[in-house]
Amino acid sequence: MVDCIFCKIIKGEIPGKFVFKDNDFVVFHDINPKAPVHALVVPKQHVESLREVNETQVDLLGKMMLTTSKAAQKLNIANEGYKVVINNGKASGQLVFHLHLHLLGGWKEAAHWQV
């Protein structure tokens, strides 16, 4: 995807503050954080949104959850708790159309918003 900002971050064309990288995923800090700790879990494979995922990508989604857990440990928010959010489509607030998961945490008390 030529104009995808996340693809450019993955390729190193745009800098990102990385937390984690492996063959399938990158995790980097959000440039506009909504929590004391706000990282994005992004598959290297370009998929526009969750609605574009098909049966052949079940492993990708499972690994996305495991990567999120590893990132929470690395960011020292796993024990206190964290939120996981996937915006899916423009009406949900998705701004970058490359599947990604928001990992939010680091609050000293209960988060200001609940689902």
Asked, for residue 75, whether it belongs to a domain, the answer is yes
The active-site residue, picked from 29, 46, 98, 100, is: 100
Average pLDDT score over residue span 47-73: 95
Asked, for residue 19, whether it belongs to a domain, the answer is yes
Query: Does residue 3 have a pLDDT over 60?
Result: yes
Residues 15-24 pLDDT 10s: 999 999 999 9
Mean pLDDT of the chain: 93
For residue 41, give its domain range. 5-105
Residues 75-99 pLDDT 10s: 999 999 999 999 999 999 999 999 9
Number of domains in the chain: 1
Asked, for residue 9, whether it belongs to a domain, the answer is yes
**Which domain CATH number covers 60?**
3.30.428.10
Q: How far apart are CA 18 and CA 113, in angstroms?
A: 26
Asked, for residue 115, whether it belongs to a domain, the answer is no
pTM score, two decimals?
A: 0.93
Active site residue 38: no
| pLDDT at res. 63 | 97
Asked, for residue 95, whether it belongs to a domain, the answer is yes
Asked, for residue 113, whether it belongs to a domain, the answer is no
